[in-house]
Amino acid sequence: MKLYSLPHSPYSARVRMQIYSKQLNIDILPPEIPLKTTEFKDAYPMGKVPILEISETELIPEATAIAEYLEDEFPENPCRPKSSSKLAMTRATVSFANSHFGPSLFPLFKNMAEKDAHPDKSTFTQPLCTELEKLDRWMAIHTSDAYDIGDFALATNLWYATTLAPAYDQPDILMQYPRVKAWWEAIKKQPHVEKVLDEMAAGFAAFVKKNKQ
């Protein structure tokens, strides 16, 4: 079994956290075909990573689908709650990360790529702050017994939030969100999370360097 992944991809990174946490024997590799090429899209119709290769004829795209498959197929060292209510909350957290939190980072990436000289930098961070406020409220009512796939989905987005925000005059963007900040400080200390965050940092640094050339 292989996971095609890029170090700085937040969606790939959350799956790697799960794989390391579950201690699965899965090869983690960069895509064999360059991303964004016609050949890549022909081979992998979704056109993005992560992709889990189960066999030569079976491929699973999309981080959320991969995470659920891994929990179904490898129930040992679970990263998903067993009770229906807690599982629903975890899936709601994943949905929030996918549909709300992740997209709030897009203006920061877009501005970084386009070097927009907009005088009011809060223009770019306001969507992120809106979602962080929601997350802080969510964490007031949702607590889990152990870190799970919902936490991993949040963690990779939070790494980008805290990494990019200083360039937008937000040196500590979590300061106003105490529950999120406390959760972030705690999850960073988990060995499998720390390992992936280090991978993301190295991958993102290489990505930025390459795009400056």
Say whether the peptide bond before residue 50 is cis (omega within 30 degrees of 0): yes
Residue 155 lies in a domain: yes
Averages of pLDDT over each 10 residues, the chain, 213 residues = 97 98 98 87 88 94 98 97 94 97 93 66 91 96 89 98 93 97 97 98 93 72
Strands 2-4 and 27-29, sheet pairing? parallel
Task: Kindly state whether residues 45 and 96 are assigned to the same domain.
Answer: no
Task: Kindly state whether residues 66 and 91 are assigned to the same domain.
Answer: no
- As for how many domains the chain has, the answer is 2
Identify which of 166, 206, 162, 204 has the alpha carbon closest to the alpha carbon of residue 12: 204
Task: Kindly state whether residues 25 and 95 are assigned to the same domain.
Answer: no
pLDDT at 47: 82
Residue 193 lies in a domain: yes
d(C-alpha 94, C-alpha 64), whole Å: 8
Task: Kindly state whether residues 108 and 175 are assigned to the same domain.
Answer: yes
Task: Kindly state whether residues 41 and 69 are assigned to the same domain.
Answer: yes
* Residue where a domain stops, chosen among 14, 47, 73: 73
**For residue 159, what are the β-bridge partners?**
none
> For the whole prediction, is pTM greater than 0.85?
yes
Buried residues in 102-132 as b, exposed as e (16+ CB within 10 A)? bebbebbeebeeeeeeeeebeebbebbbebb
Task: Kindly state whether residues 51 and 119 are assigned to the same domain.
Answer: no
Domain region containing 91: 84-212
Residue 79 lies in a domain: no
pLDDT at 122: 83
**For residue 55, what are the β-bridge partners?**
58
The size of the chain, in residues, is 213
Task: Kindly state whether residues 200 and 144 are assigned to the same domain.
Answer: yes
Beta strands in 92-182 (DSSP E): none
DSSP code of residue 166 = G
Task: Kindly state whether residues 32 and 115 are assigned to the same domain.
Answer: no
pLDDT at 34: 83
Task: Kindly state whether residues 90 and 162 are assigned to the same domain.
Answer: yes
CATH code for position 180: 1.20.1050.10
pLDDT at 49: 96
Q: Give the phi and the psi of residue 66 in degrees, each rounded to 5.
A: -65, -45
CATH code for position 31: 3.40.30.10
Residue 142 lies in a domain: yes
pLDDT at 213: 65
> Which residue in the block uniquely carries the two structure tokens 């501005």?
111
* Residue where a domain stops, chosen among 24, 49, 73: 73
pLDDT at 119: 61
pLDDT at 111: 80
pLDDT at 63: 98
pLDDT at 115: 63
* Residue where a domain stops, chosen among 73, 107, 126: 73
Task: Kindly state whether residues 95 and 188 are assigned to the same domain.
Answer: yes
pLDDT at 46: 85
pLDDT at 36: 83
Task: Kindly state whether residues 92 and 68 are assigned to the same domain.
Answer: no
DSSP code of residue 192 = H
